[in-house]
Amino acid sequence: METKLGICKEVYLIRTFLYGIPPWKDNANLFIEDLKFAKVSVRVYHPKVPSAGRRRGVLYLHGGVGQIGSIGKTSNSVVVCVGYRLAPEHPYPTQFLDCLTATVHFMTTAEDYGVDPTRIIICGDSSGGTLAAAVCQTLVSRTDLPKARAQILLYPFLQAVDFNLPSYQQNGSVPLLLKKRTITLGMQYLNQDLSLMKGILEGSHVPEDLKLKFSKWLSPDNIPMEFKIRGYKPSASATYSEELYTLAKPVFETTFSPLLAEDAIVRQLPETFILTCEYDVVRDDGLLYKKRLEDNGIPVTWYHLEDGFHGALFLIDYGYISFPCGKRAMKNVVNFIKDL
C-alpha cells in the first residue's frame, strides 16, 4: 500500500509541476483564452500582432504550460493546448479520445480562430508525443477532415514491447525519466497493478508471434551503431506468460504504442519533426520511428540533443532554471514550424 501511495504522490507532484505553472511570460504578447472544444478543456494562445492572412495552427497535446505559448509568439501561430483528462482518475484510452475529439473540433472550426485548416500541426512531448502520433495515425482515414500539415514529436514514448533497447540500458537511472518510472506511469495510465512491472520489464508479456512480427520494426539492428557505444548487451529471451499478456494487452494497441502501426498507415502520415535526447530512456523509440517513417517515404526532420535529457523543454521559460540544450531544441522546433 505504501508503494502505491508513494507512486500516486509522485504522479500528482509531476502533474503539479507540468500543469500548475502559470504562463506569465506570455501575457504581454499573446491573448490567452480557456475554452471547451466539444467538452474538452483547451487553452488557446493567439498572437496579439495582426496577421495579413490566416495563421498556422499548432495543436499541442500536453497542457497549458508557459513555454507552449512561446511557440505561438515566436512562430506567429495560434496554439491550442489540450487539457485532456488525466490518469489515474481517468484511465486509458480517455486521454487519446479527448485529444482526438479536440483535434477534430479544431480542424472543423479552425477559421473561427484565424487559422488556415490546411496548416494545422499536431505536436506533443513525452506521453503527449504518444498521443500526437496516435491522433495523426487515426486521422489518415478521416476523409471528412483536412490533412494534418505536420506532426512534431518531442522525445516521444512510442512502444511498450521492448524495455531493453540500448537507450533503456544506458539511461535507466538518468533523471528525469527513469526506466522503472516509465513503466510505473504506464501501469498507472492503464489502471493496472504494479505487480506486472517486473514481467513487462523482462518482456514476458510478448508472445512469440508478436515478437516475430514486431522485430522488423523494433530490432536494435535498426538503431545506428553510434547509439550503442555507451553500452548495449542484447537481452536474453524472456519466458512468456499468457496471464501477463492478457493483463497487458492494451500496450499492443497503436493508441498506446504508435510504433506498432502497419505500413499502410505509416506511409500516409504527414511530414514529421522528431526530437531525441541522448540521455533519455525513450531516445530509441524516436530513432526507430524515424526509420519507419523514412522507409515509408515520409519526410522527417530529426534533431538530436547530444547533451539533452527527457523533459529539457520544460525548463527553459520560467526563470527558475534553464538549460541551453532546451533552448536549442525549442529554436529548432520553431524554425520547423515557420518553414511550413
Residues designated as active site = 126, 280, 310
DSSP of 62-78: S---HHHHHHHHHHTEE
- Taking the CA atoms of residue 274, residue 276, residue 281 and residue 287 in that order, the dihedral angle to the nearest 10 degrees is 60
Name the β-bridge partners of 302: 274
Q: Are 166 and 229 spatial neighbours (Cβ–Cβ below 8 Å)? A: no
Secondary structure of residue 24 in the 3-state scheme: helix
Dihedral sign, Cα of residue 191, residue 21, residue 155, residue 113: positive
User: Which run of H or of E encompasses 119?
Assistant: strand 115-125
Backbone angles phi, psi at 27, to 5 degrees: -60, -35
Rounded to whole angstroms, the Cα distance separating 84 from 285 reads 23
Burial readout 121-139 (b: 16 or more C-beta within 10 A, e: otherwise): bbbbbbbbbbbbbbbbbbb
Nine cell digits for residue 102: 479536440
Contacts of 223 (CB under 8 A, 6+ apart): 165, 166, 284, 287, 288
Secondary structure of residue 297 in the 3-state scheme: coil
With 0-12 / 13-18 / 19 or more C-beta atoms within 10 angstroms meaning exposed / middle / buried, residue 113 is middle
Residue 328 identity: R
